[in-house]
Chain A
Amino acid sequence: MEQVTNAEWEPRIIAFLCNWCSYAGADLAGVSRYQYPPSIRIVRVPCSGRVSANMILDALRAGADGVLVSGCHPGDCHYISGNLYARRRFALLERLLEFVGVEPGRISFSWVSASEGEQFAKVVEEVTERVKRLGPARRLVKEISSCPS
């Protein structure tokens, strides 16, 4: 595994964005020409409540340096309460992952509405900064080593 220095290293962050708010917020950030780090890979999901722990851990296993889940602000969910259920799940998942020694900051959660293009850019900046401070993910990344001969 090559060692990379933090200066030129750009993390790969998987962002699960809800279709109704955060994805539209990301879109608005684009059309409004707000600059943000090119570190995120967006996966559009119907609702932040759709994002299960499996999906977050799968992203880490596949080598993501960080995971961001973003949905509508509480009270604004397109499905009324999906993000409120999600909030409970994420709170417990984040605490459990920290308990077993996954660095705090690997997974992040935020609320971004469809009108908050600038806010989206700021969230991505902050998340990227957090992950950059941690460096490349090592824990929970499954590396396929070549078979011993």
Chain B
Amino acid sequence: MSIVNQKIGGEIQTIASSLLESGEVAAFLGYTKGSLPGMMRPYVARDSGEAGNLSWSSFCVINLANYLPALLRSVEPPRRPNEPPPEGQLPKVGVVATGCWSRNMVVQVQENQIDRSRVVIVGVSSRGMVDRRKVERLVGNREITAIEEEDNVLIVRGKGFEETINRWDAVRDNCKTCLHPDPVIYDELAGGLSGDRQIPDRFHEVEEIEALSVDERWKWFQEEISSCLRCYACRNVCPLCYCPTCFVDDSRPQWVGKSTDEVDTALFHILRAYHCAGRCTDCGSCESACPMGIRMRLFTKKLQKDVIELYGFEPGLEADAPLPLSTYKVDDPEDFIITAGKKGDQK
């Protein structure tokens, strides 16, 4: 049993229980054990008794910020669509947040999706979440019946085998290149903070692809998305995707066809990533939720790199700075603009 996770889980339970007991929050959003090995399930505790079900492990891969806006609405008193909210403080909600989740919550506050005064954030410093697929690959894709987590190793059991693997070998790619594992905003802490990390080549995955030729990149892109089922799990799990009608569901005009035609799939992935530009915190939920193992995080990672290069912005770190695509500077880089021989031509 992992002592670190046990300590964090215990503290989450204690904090959640006291918040629910005192009535400060109406609901507490955390994680509970899932029904399969290596699966954790988002869980809402609504009284202090249910807080005992909360748990913590290295398999909490889905970003809890995704559920916050709907959970906040669910604890408000019922009212008609256009009726203004009642006077006074609306009920609060407690939530567990690691570094990237808390940065998404900052973005949600900036985009008016959540009201910071109604959220009690219990910060957890992330040690990196484990990719279930990596665990499967490390044990030769045999069927896993149980995963026991120690602090630095995972003991994986299946029919007729038991293997001990290094935890870090199975940690998700986005967690390995994460600079800010500590929550940016929090009201309480479960476990200690670990401080920012130094990673010299955090964009190496993107740079490897950028080094390819155009035709090779196109081939890579087509292969990467070829198995896409268009189940939209990556969209549904993303805390940035909250449009009432998504562009993929629009029918007039229909931006993206409903079929699994390769062009429609390509357009879906390009636009989904593009809509996350300057907002994505690289939490990796999309990849973790994908049933086909598509690495669509590379597209948003590329945009993250460009936003840093062009506009020097990292989402979620500064609550006061406007999001990069909702602002501008007069001297923004424009070397891509065609000038057709006029002065300043750089093409």
* Chain A interface residues toward B at CB < 8 A: 53-54, 57-58, 61, 74-75, 81, 84-85, 87-104, 108-111, 119, 122-123, 125-127, 139-143
User: What residue in chain A is nearest B224 (Cβ atoms)?
Assistant: A100
Closest to A127 in B: B338
A75–B334 alpha-carbon span in the complex (Å): 14
List A contacts of B311 (CB < 8 A).
88
Contact between chains at B218 and A88 (CB < 8 Å): no
Residues of A near B307 (CB, < 8 A) are 92
What residues of B have a CB within 8 angstroms of the CB of A104 in the complex? 214
User: Chain B residue with minimal CB distance to A104?
Assistant: B214
Given A58-B253, A103-B214: A123 in contact with B330 (beta carbons within 8 A): no
A111 nearest CB across to chain B (Å): 6
Q: Can you name 5 extra interface pairs (CB under 8 A) apart from A91-B332, A96-B277?
A: A89-B325, A91-B306, A100-B218, A100-B266, A142-B264
B338:A54 contact, CB within 8 angstroms: no
**Chain A, Cβ-Cβ closest to B210:** A99
A94 contacts which chain B residues (CB < 8 A)?
Answer: 336
Give Cα distance in the complex from A140 to B264, angstroms.
Answer: 8
Q: Mark B322-339, 1 if CB is under 8 A from A, else 0.
A: 001110111011101111
B228 within 8 A of A: no
**A74-B334, A99-B210 known; A85 and B325 CB under 8 Å?**
yes
**In the complex the two chains form, is A96's CB within 8 Å of B303's CB?**
yes
Do B330 and A75 touch across chains, with their CB atoms under 8 A apart?
A: yes
Complex Cα distance A102/B219, Å?
10
Name B's interface SS. helix
A11–B212 Cα distance when bound, in Å, is 27
Q: Quick one: which of A88, A93, A142 has the most chain B CB within 10 A?
A: A88
14 pairs, A vs B, C-beta closer than 8 Å: A57-B255, A58-B255, A84-B329, A87-B328, A88-B311, A89-B325, A91-B306, A91-B334, A92-B278, A96-B273, A99-B209, A99-B299, A102-B214, A122-B341
Within 8 Å of chain A (Cβ to Cβ): is B263?
yes
Report how far A109 CA is from B338 CA in the complex, Å: 6
Q: How far is the CB of A61 from chain B (nearest CB, A)?
A: 6
Number of interface residues of B (CB under 8 A): 51
Task: Choose among A93, A98, A141 the residue that contacts B214 (Cβ–Cβ < 8 A).
Answer: A98
Q: Smallest distance from the beta carbon of B302 to chain A beta carbons, Å?
A: 5
- Asked if B338 and A96 make an inter-chain contact with CB atoms under 8 angstroms apart, the answer reads no
Q: Do B255 and A54 have beta carbons less than 8 Å apart?
A: yes
**A interface, over-half SS:** helix
Q: Complex Cα distance A126/B346, Å?
A: 13
Q: Which chain B residue shows the least CB distance to A94?
A: B336
Q: Which residues of B contact A81 (CB under 8 A)?
A: 328
Do the beta carbons of B330 and A142 come within 8 Å of each other?
no
- B9-41 contacts to A, CB under 8 A, are none
A139 to B247, CA, bound (A): 21
Contact A96–B325 (Cβ < 8 Å): no
Which among B257, B266, B324, B336 has the highest number of chain A CB atoms within 10 Å?
Answer: B336
Q: A58-B255, A88-B325, A96-B302 are in contact. Are A101 and B267 (CB under 8 A)?
A: no
Asked whether A101 lies within 8 Å of B257 as measured between CB atoms, the reply is no
Is B217 close to A, CB under 8 A?
A: yes
CB of A126 to closest CB in B, whole Å = 5
Name, among A100, A110, A123, the residue most crowded by chain B CB atoms within 10 Å (CB to CB): A100
The minimal Cβ–Cβ distance linking A22 to chain B, given in whole angstroms, is 12
| B299 x A110 contact (CB < 8 A) | no
Q: Do A84 and B217 touch (CB < 8 A)?
A: no
Q: Is A101 within 8 A of B219, CB to CB?
A: yes
Bound form: Cα–Cα A61–B264 in Å: 9
Cβ-closest chain A residue relative to B273? A96
Chain A nearest CB: distance from B21 CB in Å? 47
Select one of A75, A92, A110, A111 contacting B274, CB under 8 A. A92
* Cβ–Cβ contact A96 & B337, under 8 A: no
Query: What B residues does A140 contact at CB under 8 A?
Result: 263, 266-267
Q: How many angstroms from the CA of A127 to the CA of B278 in the assembled complex?
A: 29
- Can you name the residue of chain B whose Cβ is closest to the Cβ of A97? B270
Per the bound structure, the CA–CA distance linking A97 and B217 in Å amounts to 10
- Interfacial chain B residues near A111, Cβ < 8 Å: 337
